[in-house]
Homo-oligomer: A and B are copies of this chain.
């Protein structure tokens, strides 16, 4: 009997218990808490738990809408010191005033790879795509009233043509919608042009792999955040002087990342992104591109100017994991009503967490904190 055939999650867990001799009572018990919810997980045996902490609040100011709001930051993690660290950063940043945030909608991307005979056909195919673009938009709209095709990039390495479609998925993260629409567009293209598609994803999307393409072109949302902290706030809350933060930033985030061939010019974006995604029902694997990004530190007069950029934030407020009740509560806690807003909260959290860790590194307290909280 195979796992798929068992229809009840507890019976499936029991089957695995029998096969492995391992008691799965806790997993089953946790499973009870999501019973009746819309769960996207096959071969279910129950659920697992992540402790959830909260950091904040932050006062965020969106530069486009001028909207200002206080956001609490939900973080699901099993790593000691993380929430405490982000929270300390938030306290410093809140005391300094508003975190300014700016967001740019890049769109969720999906890049089918087509195969042509050679350059002649590739050149024709390029023109074909231009001509048919409006029709591709219609096909997209026909797959979902919530999806719009924005534009595409074309990359030719004969005989392969990578066509990177950018979609606006409204309130969802939209990866699945983008795949479905791309598939429909492909079916049309294959019939209409005779050019064959090798794969609906040609790794030019780039989904869940670190890539310079996403780092440079962006994906989902590109979001920036900045704050300016007086020397007294730095000293009182972060226990450092602005110049010390700048020095660690320079040696570590810039030079260290450069010299190790890293894409990420930051200290630990991934910690905050992963914990925030786990809390708010995002796709955990999007931590990979979601944690790409850069930082900047500078002493201005006696103050510290600090900024961060996240080029590829894939988030949604409907669909996928956001349907789960614990995730929904976490999203609501942030005050975000849209994916854009969620990206802004994340940016504020990332900035706070980054500042706090850099400060810990200055004072040499990282090891001490881990001794206390991490073991």
Contacts and interface: CB of A to CB of B under 8 A. Distances in A.
A79 B184 CA distance: 22
Contacts of A248: 198-199
A65 interface: no
A160 interface: yes
A200 to B, nearest CB: 6
A57 interface: yes
A179 B364 CA distance: 11
A120 to B, nearest CB: 6
Nearest to A282: B78
A51 interface: yes
A360 to B, nearest CB: 9
B367 A279 contact: no
B265 A226 contact: no
Contact of A113 (B155, B199, B228, B252): B252
This chain's copy number in the assembly: 4
A247 B210 contact: no
Given A49-B326, A54-B43, A374-B176, A155 B119 contact: no
Contacts of A200: 361, 364, 366-367
A362 B22 CA distance: 37
A106 interface: no
Interface in A346-373: 361-362, 364, 366-368, 370-371, 373
A254 interface: yes
Contacts of A287: 270, 274, 284-285, 287-288
A130 to B, nearest CB: 14
A325 interface: yes
